[in-house]
Structure 1
């Protein structure tokens, strides 16, 4: 167990952590990192610190809401406090998937993300809510990781930051996003799955406008609800943000991103004249200003999520394309599982002491259990998101010609993501932890 940290990395609290606690370093203060910290900070036998690279500074599905509640009621409440009210607490809300081109134009083929009290929230708003749950002494900004290694001469993991400071931890949880440095450490920098991919060359043309402005151009209905309008030249969608004051509208086009990362072609509304009028209106709105556009990416499957006392979580472990809308939910499931295993470890500390298990052995068992439970499910969601995108683009096995088959597929996919038993997943992880202890 590490006895001292570099005090300069602890922000305003320079007293350093208590020496008898396990030191948990979380790299990245995004949704997953802050949700992890919000739960782990409540475990008295842990000293938790978040290192975020930036300066101080999306709609979630049913499994995300259940995972937040599993971490702690205050985490779930942070989401509801910041979210756009899309319905009453007991009202079930959904994303509607509608065919916007071809002979079945206008047909509803799916209702995704069904959940009571479902709301929409921007990433920035949710981060602000989660940040309020993490003690200020437990997070330091402007700390971009440069290097890490599990030191050979003592029991810790050495972390070096780009500002020249360093620290040590008993355990490192990399929540540092799709281009994760921690992922490169866990897999090896040259591993083919170490860096993000965009196999289908997706480009998302995106605009952000006030709802008042959007209503001048599009059906008012789509400033309050979430549609996904499908067609072969790109699928169209809208998401209300910032408590219903702003609207994110976009068109996702398969094959439009350039492999070298160069400029893409402008979005041409004339190409969408065979789409529904609702879809055409949204395309014209987006085409006015595409400055919020980006090329998406995801991760090929990693053979492992941890190496020794270092693990990846959230997008660093399993970044997915945005088309299934479950990336943040999977990150929150990661956080829920890890929080439950760490709580079990803390609860059973006297017994673990009797077994003469070192801090390192306990950490490795925690991370191995997390890996074994979360990797299969989260990687299945990565595959599912890729398939969603191809179906949305009318590029998957002729499904767009058979709305009934599409309905059956989406119903099955929605059940897989939303109907997970989060509490059973947590129990499975605890059982896995004890299997590694034995």
Structure 2
């Protein structure tokens, strides 16, 4: 029976462990932390990610959670709509819904599946302090991957995009909750139902790298307190706020493997969150790698071009959202006109991403 060692117990690492174990591999996962990841907030699992989860036997369990419903879209800070999309139309087009799930919930589902398939999970084990045996080594060690630096020492590291982010989860307020992103002058706020009467919120804005506020909730109210409700109320209700500078790999790696070592997820192609595809691409990586575990050049060929395209599209959306002044006003007008001319224009643009199949 072939042996694989996976470095990192995030979404991509655990998904790879499950996918390999289902194909008869003996798998060990090494994780630096003393416990499974329970930080973070919500993440989107789009139709392409759900198809990958189907391969892992977890698609139905995730689909049982709350899906996006009703009208979603982009608003201005005063609450008027720039463009709107119907979630039912999106599900009809792609055959599957988009699910927003708490990151810790998805991690636990993957960990339970890994255990059920006999995967050994070693916590509190930094890879640099451990022997890493196996016929295959999967590096899923994230944005600042030590394995990537070792395999590709000449490749540029993560680049700061000029934008920082805040994420938090709060109880759902009474009344109607519009699911939307609000685009202001270089800043964005998103509001999404998370299920269990919880709401996931995120915000991004330009800031110097490494900057922190003594009181992040007060900082959010300072920046977004004049925006439309329920944004100020949701921010006032936040008790635990995660602030993270947004970094990505601006220059794609030429390949995702060397010898018997394969890179996966953020270690291979860290992208901006603007399309909500980070976890989905890691899930795609995992099932593709398991199918090509004996042919790593084949894995690289399939995944390097695919993820470079998705990352570039996400970066473009990020730059569009970051426009300020007259450029932002022109952007909003153009998006409104386009939405009126073709209500399905946004959905058509997502075809190459959401229509992926294992």
| TM bin (shorter chain) | 0.7 to 0.9
Q: Report the equivalent of 1:221.
A: 176
Q: Report the equivalent of 1:329.
A: 280
Report the Cα distance in structure 1 between the residues aligned to 2:338 and 2:151, rounded to whole angstroms. Answer: 38
Superposition map of 1:216-295 within 5 A: 220-222=175-177, 226-241=179-194, 243-253=195-205, 255-256=206-207, 258-259=208-209, 261-263=210-212, 267=219, 269=221, 272=224, 275=227, 277-278=228-229, 281-286=230-235, 289=238, 291-295=241-245
Q: Do structure 1's residue 381 and structure 2's residue 329 form an aligned pair?
A: no
- Normalising to structure 1: TM-score of the pair? 0.68
SS at match of 2:33: coil
Q: Do structure 1's residue 309 and structure 2's residue 245 form an aligned pair?
A: no
Superposition map of 1:92-241 within 5 A: 93=69, 96-101=72-77, 105-110=80-85, 114-115=90-91, 116-135=96-115, 137-146=119-128, 161=129, 165-188=130-153, 190-192=154-156, 195-199=157-161, 201-211=162-172, 215=173, 220-222=175-177, 226-241=179-194
Deviation at 1:416? 2.1
Report the Cα distance in structure 1 between the residues aligned to 2:9 and 2:143, rounded to whole angstroms. Answer: 13
CA deviation digits over 1:48-84, x for unaligned, max 9? 2111121233221111111222x23x22134235x3x
Tell whether the 8 Å contact from 1:64 to 1:333 is kept in structure 2 after alignment: yes
Tell whether the 8 Å contact from 1:61 to 1:329 is kept in structure 2 after alignment: yes
- Report the CA distance shift for 1:310/1:381 in structure 2 as closer, same or farther (over 3 A): same
Alignment match of 2:248 (pick from 298, 302, 314): 298
Alignment match of 1:390 (pick from 303, 316, 319): 319
SS at match of 2:100: coil
Report the Cα distance in structure 2 between the residues aligned to 1:387 and 1:97, rounded to whole angstroms. Answer: 18
Deviation at 1:239? 2.7
Report the Cα distance in structure 1 between the residues aligned to 2:223 and 2:246, rounded to whole angstroms. Answer: 22
- Report the CA distance shift for 1:320/1:125 in structure 2 as closer, same or farther (over 3 A): same
Equivalent residues, number = 333
Alignment match of 1:403 (pick from 319, 335, 343): 335
Tell whether the 8 Å contact from 1:202 to 1:295 is kept in structure 2 after alignment: yes
- Normalising to structure 2: TM-score of the pair? 0.82
- Report the CA distance shift for 1:86/1:110 in structure 2 as closer, same or farther (over 3 A): closer
Report the Cα distance in structure 1 between the residues aligned to 2:221 and 2:278, rounded to whole angstroms. Answer: 29
Report the Cα distance in structure 2 between the residues aligned to 1:392 and 1:378, rounded to whole angstroms. Answer: 21
Deviation at 1:41? 0.7
Higher relative contact order (CA 8 A, sep 6+): 2
Structure (1 or 2) with the larger CA radius of gyration: 1
CA deviation digits over 1:141-200, x for unaligned, max 9? 111111xxxxxxxxxxxxxx2xxx424222111111111112112211x531xx22223x
Deviation at 1:42? 2.2
- Report the CA distance shift for 1:291/1:274 in structure 2 as closer, same or farther (over 3 A): closer
Tell whether the 8 Å contact from 1:267 to 1:287 is kept in structure 2 after alignment: no
Unaligned ranges ≥5, structure 2:
37-42
- Report the CA distance shift for 1:220/1:391 in structure 2 as closer, same or farther (over 3 A): farther
